[in-house]
C-alpha cells in the first residue's frame, strides 16, 4: 500500500454531501450514496505526492471517531449545506473540536454544498430527482428550490471564528475569501477548484514537515496528564 | 454483493475427541503453535493435539488432530487463556487469576513452580523490546483496579518489570513494543509504558458491547468501534486504513492477510483490508473463539475446533477474474505483492493484468483494456490472434497456455454482432497504431504491421496509404493477397514499390488507369504514375512506359523527361534520345524543346532551330485553319517572336526562307534584324506594318548592349525613313516628331537639325531641343571636369619624377643586388622608392615569383 504523504479530512453534519463531493471529484460522477458508516478514504496522486482524503461519517453515532481521523491532518474541509443553517452551526458546535488533533499548521476550508438547490443558484441544474428514503445527502433531494439560507458572509465569519479558536493570526493563514467555497457535488460546480486549491496548499506543508523530519521522539516536556474525558455515548 | 471464496471451514477437533466418555465439555480457549494445538476447557483441563495437514488438489486442505495428552490443572475454575512460548518450550496457562508455566510437550508444571498471580487477562508482546531470546514479554491486566503489569517470563521464572496505572479500568489489552493498546471502560487508548504518554483513540461503550483489541502488525491494531465498525489505529493514534463494517455484535476478530475475519453469533465474515469490502460470509453458529496463530485462523464453538483454510491467493484472483470482477482481482493481486517473492509476483501480476485486460476488452471497455494490456506488457499477438485471419500465415505465434481468456475468436466474443465487431476492429486499429512504434512491437513488427494493413484495407481506412508509404514491416505475400482480395490495387502497388518491385507496381496502376481493374482510391492516378516515373531510378521502366504516358497525355506525359532530376537527364535521358522518342508526339516535343531551350538554356543550335521551326509550323497551321487575319497574335506566335528575338543560335536563313511570303511581317522584321539588315527590317515595320512603336522598340532592341554611336545610327536610319517623301508623309512626319521628342538622347542633334524640313516649328520639337541642349551642355561640363582632373593628376606625377631625379646613385663593386646578392656588372639597375638597388632581371623575376623577399622589406 502506498504510504500517504499528507492527509485531508472531510468533516460535517450528516447529509451535507461529504461523500458526494469526494465521489464527484475522484470518480467524476454523482451516484446515489448511502449514509457513510465509519469512514472511507481515497488516495489521490497530486504531482509526486500521495494525498489521502478521508470521508467521515456525519452521524452522531460515529462522532467519537472524528478526532482520530483528524489526527495529523494537513487540511480539514468543514462542510455544510447552504440550505440548512443548522449544518453550519453544527460545524462550530460539534466538529470544530475534533480538529484539535490535527497538525498545528492545519488548513481549514469551509464548504457550502448543494448550491444547485438554490433558487438563484450559481450552478444551473433544473432537473430534480426524487431519491429514495434511504439515500443520504448528495445534493438534490426532491425538495423545491429555496432561497439561499446561508450566505457566504456567514462562512467567512465562521472561518474567522476558527482562527480565533485556534489562536491564529489572520496574517499567517490564507485569507477567508480563499478558503470559503460554495459547491455542488451534483453539477460538479467548484468541486475541482476546492480540492485542487487545497492540494496546492497542502504540498508546501508536506515539504515543510519532511524538512523537519517525522516526529519520532515524544516530547516529554510537553507531556500533560491525559485529560479525563467524559463518557462519549453512554451519557 | 457477490462473494469471493477466500476461506473454507474445516473441522480440526471433533467433539468426541474431547469429550471421550464425559457428557459435558466446554471449550474455553485455544492455542496453536506449529503443529501443536492446545485446548483449554471449562472443567480445568488442558488438551494437547498434533495437527496433520493434508493439502487437497482444490487448493484447500483438511486437518486431522491426534490427541497427545491432557492434564487437569487441579482447580475448579475454567482454563481462561492459553499462550505458547515455543522458544522456551513453555505453555502459559491462565486459570483462576493465575498464570502457570507448563512444559509444552509433557504438560508438566515447571519444577520451580513459577507463576504470575493476580491476572485477569494476558497478552504476549510479539514485538519484544528486551532483545533477550530466552524470555517472552507478557502483559497482564491485574486484579488490582486500573493496573497493568509487565513481566519477563523465562523457562522457569518470572520477573515483573513494570506496573502501569490506567485512567480507567482496562478490559482488554494488546501490546506492541512499548505500546499498549487498551480498551478502557469508556474508550480505547494507546499507552506508551516507557514514557507514560497516553493517546486517546476513540470512545466506546463497554456496557453495550465487548471490546476487541487485536494487534494486526507492527504498530497497528484493530479495534471494535461504534456501530459495528472494525477500526484500524496505529500507535500514533492515526487510522491508516478505512474501517470495515461488521455487524453490531462481533465477538472476535482475526487477520489473515489481506483479510479481516470477524465472528458473531451466526456468521464468520471476511472483509478485505484492501478495499474494505465484505468478501465472504460463512454461517457458523455458537462460535465464541476466533483467533489467528501465525497465519492460521482458528474458530471454535464450545464443542469443537475448526480451521479456516485460506485459498491460495492466485486461486482467489482467478476466481474473481472468472466472475469478471477485475477491480477486486487487481486490488487483491497488488495487495499480495509483499507476500510473494518478487519474480514470481511479477510474472503472476502481469498475467493477471493481461487477463483483466481481456475481460475489459470483451466488455468493450477499450480504454481500460488498453491500459491493462500496456501495464501487463501483453504480447500484442495474443490480441491480434483473436481476430480471424489477421496474423500472417507465416507467424510462429501460439497463444499462451493456460489461455488468457475464454474466447476462440472475435466471432465468438461478439456472438456475431457486427456493430461490436466493428468497434473491436477500430480499437485494434488504434491500439496497433499506437504500439507499433514502441518497444511493445519489438520482435513482432511484421505481425503487427501486417495485421494493421489488413484492418485498414478491410475498413477502407485512409491510413492504409500512410502505412504503406512510410517505414513498415508488412509481409509481402500475406499483405498482397489481402489487398487483392479487398481490391485495394493502388495500395497493392505501393506495397510492391515498398518491396522494390516497381515494375509490378506500375503495371498495376497502369491497369487501373486503363480501366482493366477498378480502384478509385486516386482520381489522379495517371498524374501519380507520371510523377512516379519522373522520380524513378529504374530507366528501363521509364522507357517502357514512356509511350503509354505520352499516349494518355502528351503535355503531362512529357514531364517524365522534363521534370526528371538534372543529373539523370545528362546520361540515359539525354536530349537526343528523348527527342527521338518524342518524334511521334509533336506537342510533347515542343514542351520538351522548350524545356531544353528556355528552362535549361541549352546553347545548341539544333534545339533552337528545331523549336523555332516547330513554332513556325504551328503558327502557319493555325493561320490556314483560322483563315482569317487574326487581330491578336496567337500564343504560339508570341512564343515564336520571343524566341526569335531572344535566341542568337537558330539558323536565321532557314527561317527566312520558310517565312517568305507567309505573311508574317513582324517575324521577318526580327529575322532581318538578326542579320543586321536594319533598313529592311525597319521598312517592314514602318511601311508594311505601320507600327511605329514597334519600330522604335526595334531600334532599342537591336542596339541593346552596343555602343551609343551604333544606337544613334539605328535611330537616324529610322528618322530618315520617316522623313522620306511619299504618300504617307504627313503621318510619318508626326511619327518623326514623336520619335525625336521621346529619344532626344539617341540622336546627334546637329545632324537632325540639318535633316528636318524648314517648316517645322520650334514648339513642335521643344522636348527634343531642350533635351539636346541639356545633353550638349552636360557633355561639355563633364568633359571640362575630366580635363581638369587629368591635368592635376599629371602634375602629381611630374612632382614625383622631379623628386626621384633629385639625387644620384653610385654603383661600385661593393654594392650588391638586394635580391641575388651579386654585384652589378652593367650600368643598368632598378631602384625601388625606398632606395634599394636590384638587377633589372631580378626586379622582373620578383614580380613573377612573389615568394622571394622584396627589397623594400630588407632595408
Q: Out of B68-82, B178-192, B380-394, B662-676, which region has the weakest mean confidence (pLDDT)?
A: B662-676
Query: Is B231 within 8 Å of A231 when comparing Cβ atoms?
Result: no
Query: Is A234 within 8 Å of B276 when comparing Cβ atoms?
Result: no
| SS3 call for A37 | coil
**Backbone phi, psi, residue B757, to 5°:** -65, 145
Quick one: pLDDT at residue A144?
57
| Distinct helix (H) and strand (E) counts, chain B | 32, 30
Quick one: pLDDT at residue A147?
67
User: Rounded to an integer, what distance in angstroms lies between the CA atom of residue B635 and that of residue B590?
Assistant: 13
Architecture of domain A6-212: 3-Layer(aba) Sandwich (3.40)
**Do the Cβ atoms of B14 and B316 come closer than 8 Å?**
no
Nearest to B226 among A1, A62, A101 (CB): A62
Distance from CA of B182 to the nearest CA of A (A): 14
User: Rounded to an integer, what distance in angstroms lies between the CA atom of residue A207 and that of residue B205?
Assistant: 40
**Do the Cβ atoms of B807 and B835 come closer than 8 Å?**
no
Nearest to B200 among A67, A218, A234 (CB): A67
**Do the Cβ atoms of A25 and A192 come closer than 8 Å?**
yes
Residue A78: in which H helix or E strand, if any?
Answer: strand A75-81
The count of domains in chain B is: 2
pTM over 0.90: no
For B568-625, write each residue's pLDDT tens digit.
777 778 888 888 888 888 888 888 888 888 888 888 888 888 888 888 888 888 777 6
Specify if B626 maps to a domain: no
Query: Is A39 within 8 Å of B242 when comparing Cβ atoms?
Result: yes
What does the pLDDT average to over B801-830? 80
Nearest to B186 among A62, A67, A232 (CB): A232
Query: Is B242 within 8 Å of A61 when comparing Cβ atoms?
Result: no
Q: What percent of chain A has pLDDT over 70?
A: 77
CA atoms within 13 A on the CB side of A58: 25
Closest CA to B735 of B776, B771, B687, B774: B687
Q: Which band of pLDDT confidence, cut at 50, 70 and 90, is reported for residue A146?
A: low
Quick one: pLDDT at residue A226?
47
B191 conformational bin, left if phi > 0, alpha if psi -120 to 50, beta if neither: beta
User: Rounded to an integer, what distance in angstroms lies between the CA atom of residue B380 and that of residue B839?
Assistant: 92
Query: Is A72 within 8 Å of B236 when comparing Cβ atoms?
Result: yes
Residue B846 maps to which CATH number? 3.30.50
The alpha-carbon radius of gyration of chain B (Å, integer) is 57
Q: Which band of pLDDT confidence, cut at 50, 70 and 90, is reported for residue B109?
A: very high
Residue A94 bridge partners (DSSP): none
Residue B270: in which H helix or E strand, if any?
Answer: strand B267-272
What does the pLDDT average to over B626-649? 74
User: Rounded to an integer, what distance in angstroms lies between the CA atom of residue B174 and that of residue B254?
Assistant: 13
Q: Sort strands A49-56 and A6-12 into parallel, antiparallel or unpaired.
A: parallel
User: Rounded to an integer, what distance in angstroms lies between the CA atom of residue B335 and that of residue B316?
Assistant: 13
For residues B712 and B632, which has the higher predicted lDDT (pLDDT)? Answer: B712
What does the pLDDT average to over B836-852? 71
**How many other CB atoms are there within 10 angstroms of residue A231's CB atom?**
15
| For A54, nearest residue in chain B (alpha carbons) | B242
Specify if B494 maps to a domain: no
Quick one: pLDDT at residue A158?
93
Distance from CA of A221 to the nearest CA of B (A): 11
Q: Which residues of B touch A1 (CB under 8 A)?
A: 274, 335
**Do the Cβ atoms of B40 and B55 come closer than 8 Å?**
no
Quick one: pLDDT at residue B848?
58
**Do the Cβ atoms of B26 and B18 come closer than 8 Å?**
no
- DSSP character string of B501-533: -HHHHHHHHHHHHHTSS---S-TTHHHHHHHHH
User: Rounded to an integer, what distance in angstroms lies between the CA atom of residue B79 and that of residue B46?
Assistant: 8
Q: Which residues of A touch B196 (CB under 8 A)?
A: 223
* Domain range annotation of chain A: 6-212
The pLDDT of residue B690 is above 60: yes
Query: Is A38 within 8 Å of B197 when comparing Cβ atoms?
Result: no
> What is this model's ipTM?
0.79
The grid coordinates of residue B304 equal: 469443537
- Give the end of a domain, one of B776, B798, B815: B776
Strand order in the sheet with B252-256: B252-256, B259-263, B267-272, B278-283
Specify if B487 maps to a domain: no
Q: Which residues of A touch B335 (CB under 8 A)?
A: 1
What does the pLDDT average to over B218-231? 91
The grid coordinates of residue B368 equal: 481500460
Q: Which residues of A touch B235 (CB under 8 A)?
A: none
For residues A233 and B660, which has the higher predicted lDDT (pLDDT)? Answer: B660
Q: Which residues of A touch B226 (CB under 8 A)?
A: 61-62, 64-65, 233
Q: Out of B80-94, B273-287, B728-742, which region has the weakest mean confidence (pLDDT)?
A: B728-742
Q: What percent of chain B has pLDDT over 70?
A: 96
Closest CA to A95 of A58, A45, A142, A145: A58
Same domain assignment for residues B762 and B815: no
For residues A10 and B539, which has the higher predicted lDDT (pLDDT)? Answer: A10
Query: Is B236 within 8 Å of A71 when comparing Cβ atoms?
Result: yes
Query: Is B187 within 8 Å of A68 when comparing Cβ atoms?
Result: no
Query: Is A231 within 8 Å of B205 when comparing Cβ atoms?
Result: yes
Distance from CA of B325 to the nearest CA of A (A): 18
The grid coordinates of residue B625 equal: 485553319
Distance from CA of A226 to the nearest CA of B (A): 6
Query: Is A226 within 8 Å of B198 when comparing Cβ atoms?
Result: yes
User: Rounded to an integer, what distance in angstroms lies between the CA atom of residue B421 and that of residue B438?
Assistant: 26
Specify if B533 maps to a domain: no
Q: Which band of pLDDT confidence, cut at 50, 70 and 90, is reported for residue A32?
A: confident
Quick one: pLDDT at residue B149?
95
Residue A41 bridge partners (DSSP): A54
Strand order in the sheet with B98-103: B79-85, B90-95, B98-103, B115-117
> For testing the chain A interface, which of B184, B222, B239 should be mutated: the one with the most A CBs within 10 Å?
B239
| SS3 call for B443 | coil
Specify if B851 maps to a domain: yes
Distance from CA of B402 to the nearest CA of A (A): 30
**Do the Cβ atoms of A40 and A46 come closer than 8 Å?**
no
Specify if B760 maps to a domain: yes
For residues B235 and B25, which has the higher predicted lDDT (pLDDT)? Answer: B235
The pLDDT of residue B851 is above 70: no
Determine the structural domain holding residue B842 and report its residue range. 807-859
Contacts for B250 with CB less than 8 Å, ≥ 6 apart: B212, B224, B228, B230, B262, B263, B264
**At how many degrees (to 10) do helices B729-742 and B692-702 cross?**
40
Strands (E), A142-192: 180-182
Amino acid at each position: 500500500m502506498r504510504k500517504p504523504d499528507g492527509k485531508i479530512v472531510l468533516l460535517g453534519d450528516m447529509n451535507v454531501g461529504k461523500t458526494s463531493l469526494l465521489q464527484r471529484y475522484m470518480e467524476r460522477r454523482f451516484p446515489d450514496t448511502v449514509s457513510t458508516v465509519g469512514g472511507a478514504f481515497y488516495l489521490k496522486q497530486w504531482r509526486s505526492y500521495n494525498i489521502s482524503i478521508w470521508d467521515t461519517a456525519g452521524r452522531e453515532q460515529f462522532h467519537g471517531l472524528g478526532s482520530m481521523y483528524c489526527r495529523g491532518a494537513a487540511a480539514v474541509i468543514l462542510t455544510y449545506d447552504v440550505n440548512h443553517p443548522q449544518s453550519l452551526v453544527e460545524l462550530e458546535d460539534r466538529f470544530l473540536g475534533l480538529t484539535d488533533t490535527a497538525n498545528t499548521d492545519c488548513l481549514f476550508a469551509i464548504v457550502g454544498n448543494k448550491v444547485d438547490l438554490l433558487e438563484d443558484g450559481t450552478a444551473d441544474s433544473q432537473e430534480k430527482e426524487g431519491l429514495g428514503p434511504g439515500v443520504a445527502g448528495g445534493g438534490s433531494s426532491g425538495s423545491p428550490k429555496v432561497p439561499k439560507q446561508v450566505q457566504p458572509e456567514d462562512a467567512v465569519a465562521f472561518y474567522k471564528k476558527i482562527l480565533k479558536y485556534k489562536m491564529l493570526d489572520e496574517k499567517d493563514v490564507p485569507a477567508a475569501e480563499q478558503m470559503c467555497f460554495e459547491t455542488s457535488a451534483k453539477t460538479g460546480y467548484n468541486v475541482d477548484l476546492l480540492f485542487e486549491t487545497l492540494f496546492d496548499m497542502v504540498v508546501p506543508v508536506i515539504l515543510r514537515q519532511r524538512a523537519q523530519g517525522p516526529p519520532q521522539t515524544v516530547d516529554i516536556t510537553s507531556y500533560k496528564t491525559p485529560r479525563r474525558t467524559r463518557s462519549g455515548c453512554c451519557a | 454483493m457477490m462473494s469471493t471464496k477466500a476461506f473454507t471451514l474445516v473441522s480440526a477437533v471433533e467433539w468426541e475427541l474431547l469429550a471421550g466418555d464425559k457428557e459435558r465439555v466446554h471449550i474455553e480457549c485455544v492455542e496453536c503453535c506449529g503443529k501443536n494445538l492446545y485446548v483449554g476447557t471449562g472443567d480445568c483441563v488442558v488438551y494437547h493435539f498434533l495437527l496433520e495437514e493434508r493439502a487437497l488438489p482444490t487448493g484447500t486442505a483438511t486437518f486431522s488432530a491426534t490427541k497427545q495428552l491432557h492434564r487437569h490443572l487441579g482447580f475448579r475454575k475454567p482454563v481462561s487463556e492459553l499462550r505458547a512460548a515455543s522458544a522456551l518450550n513453555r505453555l502459559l496457562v491462565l486459570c483462576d487469576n493465575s498464570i502457570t508455566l507448563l512444559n509444552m510437550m509433557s504438560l508438566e508444571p515447571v519444577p520451580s513452580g513459577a507463576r504470575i498471580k493476580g491476572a485477569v487477562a494476558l497478552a504476549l508482546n510479539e514485538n519484544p523490546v528486551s532483545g533477550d531470546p530466552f524470555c517472552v514479554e507478557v502483559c497482564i491486566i491485574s486484579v488490582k483496579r486500573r493496573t497493568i503489569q509487565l513481566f519477563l517470563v523465562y523457562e522457569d521464572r518470572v520477573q515483573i518489570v513494570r506496573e502501569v496505572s490506567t485512567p480507567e479500568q482496562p478490559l482488554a489489552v494488546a501490546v506492541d513494543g512499548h505500546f499498549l493498546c487498551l480498551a478502557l471502560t469508556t474508550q480505547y487508548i494507546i499507552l506508551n509504558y516507557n514514557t507514560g504518554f497516553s493517546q486517546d483513540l476513540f470512545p466506546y461503550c463497554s456496557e453495550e458491547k465487548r471490546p476487541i483489541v487485536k494487534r494486526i502488525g507492527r504498530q497497528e491494531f484493530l479495534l471494535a468501534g461504534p456501530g459495528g465498525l472494525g477500526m484500524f489505529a496505529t500507535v500514533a493514534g492515526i487510522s491508516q486504513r478505512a474501517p470495515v463494517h461488521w455487524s453490531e455484535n462481533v465477538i472476535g476478530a482475526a487477520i489473515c492477510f489481506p483479510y479481516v475475519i470477524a465472528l458473531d453469533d451466526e456468521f464468520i465474515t471476511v472483509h478485505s483490508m484492501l478495499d474494505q469490502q465484505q468478501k465472504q460470509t460463512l454461517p457458523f453458529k455458537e462460535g465464541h473463539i476466533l483467533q489467528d496463530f501465525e497465519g492460521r485462523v482458528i474458530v471454535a464453538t464450545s464443542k469443537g475446533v475448526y480451521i479456516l483454510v485460506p485459498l491460495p491467493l492466485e486461486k482467489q484472483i482467478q476466481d474473481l477474474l472468472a466472475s469478471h470482477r477485475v477491480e477486486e482481482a487487481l486490488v487483491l493481486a497488488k495487495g499480495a505483492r509483499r507476500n510473494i517473492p518478487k519474480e514470481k509476483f511479477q510474472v503472476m501480476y502481469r498475467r493477471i493484468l493481461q487477463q483483466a485486460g481481456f475481460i475489459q476488452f470483451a466488455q468493450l471497455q477499450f480504454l481500460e483494456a488498453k491500459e491493462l494490456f500496456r501495464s501487463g506488457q501483453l504480447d500484442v499477438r495474443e490480441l491480434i490472434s483473436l481476430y480471424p485471419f489477421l496474423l500472417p500465415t507465416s507467424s510462429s505465434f501460439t497463444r499462451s497456455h493456460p489461455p488468457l481468456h475464454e474466447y476462440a475468436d472475435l466471432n465468438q466474443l461478439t456472438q456475431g454482432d457486427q456493430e461490436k465487431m466493428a468497434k473491436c476492429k477500430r480499437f485494434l486499429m488504434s491500439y496497433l497504431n499506437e504500439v507499433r512504434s514502441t518497444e511493445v512491437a519489438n520482435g513482432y513488427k511484421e505481425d503487427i504491421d501486417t495485421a494493421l494493413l489488413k484492418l485498414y484495407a478491410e475498413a477502407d481506412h485512409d491510413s492504409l496509404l500512410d502505412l504503406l508509404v512510410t517505414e513498415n514491416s508488412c509481409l509481402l505475400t500475406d499483405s498482397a493477397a489481402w489487398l487483392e482480395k479487398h481490391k485495394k490495387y493502388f495500395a497493392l502497388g505501393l506495397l510492391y514499390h515498398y518491396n522494390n518491385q516497381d515494375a509490378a507496381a506500375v503495371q498495376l496502376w497502369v491497369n487501373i488507369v486503363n480501366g482493366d481493374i477498378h480502384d478509385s482510391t486516386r482520381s489522379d492516378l495517371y498524374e501519380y504514375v507520371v510523377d512516379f516515373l519522373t522520380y524513378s531510378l529504374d530507366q528501363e521502366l521509364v522507357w517502357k512506359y514512356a509511350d503509354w504516358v505520352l499516349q494518355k497525355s502528351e503535355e503531362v506525359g512529357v514531364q517524365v523527361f522534363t521534370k526528371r532530376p538534372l543529373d539523370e537527364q545528362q546520361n540515359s535521358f539525354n536530349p537526343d534520345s528523348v527527342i527521338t522518342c518524342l518524334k511521334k508526339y509533336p506537342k510533347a516535343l515542343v514542351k520538351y524543346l522548350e524545356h531544353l531551350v528556355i528552362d535549361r538554356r541549352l546553347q545548341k543550335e539544333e534545339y533552337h532551330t528545331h523549336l523555332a521551326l516547330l513554332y513556325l509550323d504551328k503558327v502557319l497551321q493555325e493561320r490556314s485553319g483560322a483563315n482569317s487575319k487574326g487581330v491578336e497574335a496567337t500564343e504560339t506566335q508570341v512564343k515564336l517572336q520571343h524566341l526569335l528575338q531572344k535566341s542568337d543560335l537558330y539558323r536565321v536563313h532557314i527561317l527566312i526562307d520558310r517565312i517568305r511570303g507567309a505573311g508574317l511581317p513582324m517575324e521577318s522584321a526580327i529575322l532581318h534584324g538578326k542579320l543586321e539588315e536594319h533598313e529592311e527590317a525597319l521598312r517592314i515595320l514602318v511601311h508594311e506594318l505601320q507600327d511605329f512603336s514597334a519600330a522604335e522598340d526595334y531600334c532599342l532592341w537591336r542596339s541593346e548592349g552596343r555602343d551609343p554611336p551604333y544606337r544613334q545610327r539605328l535611330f537616324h536610319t529610322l528618322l530618315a525613313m520617316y522623313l522620306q517623301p511619299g504618300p504617307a508623309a504627313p503621318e510619318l512626319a508626326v511619327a518623326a516628331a514623336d520619335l525625336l521628342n521621346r529619344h532626344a538622347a539617341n540622336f546627334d542633334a546637329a545632324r537632325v537639325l540639318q535633316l528636318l524640313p524648314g517648316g517645322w516649328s520650334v514648339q513642335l520639337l521643344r522636348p527634343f531641343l531642350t533635351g539636346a541642349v541639356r545633353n550638349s551642355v552636360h557633355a561639355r561640363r563633364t568633359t571640362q571636369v575630366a580635363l581638369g582632373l587629368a591635368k592635376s593628376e599629371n602634375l602629381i606625377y611630374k612632382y614625383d619624377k622631379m623628386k626621384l631625379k633629385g639625387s644620384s646613385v653610385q654603383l661600385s663593386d661593393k654594392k650588391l643586388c638586394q635580391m641575388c646578392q651579386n654585384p652589378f656588372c652593367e650600368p643598368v639597375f632598378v631602384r625601388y622608392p625606398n632606395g634599394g638597388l636590384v638587377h633589372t632581371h631580378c626586379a622582373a623575376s620578383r614580380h613573377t615569383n612573389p615568394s622571394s623577399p622584396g627589397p623594400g622589406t630588407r632595408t
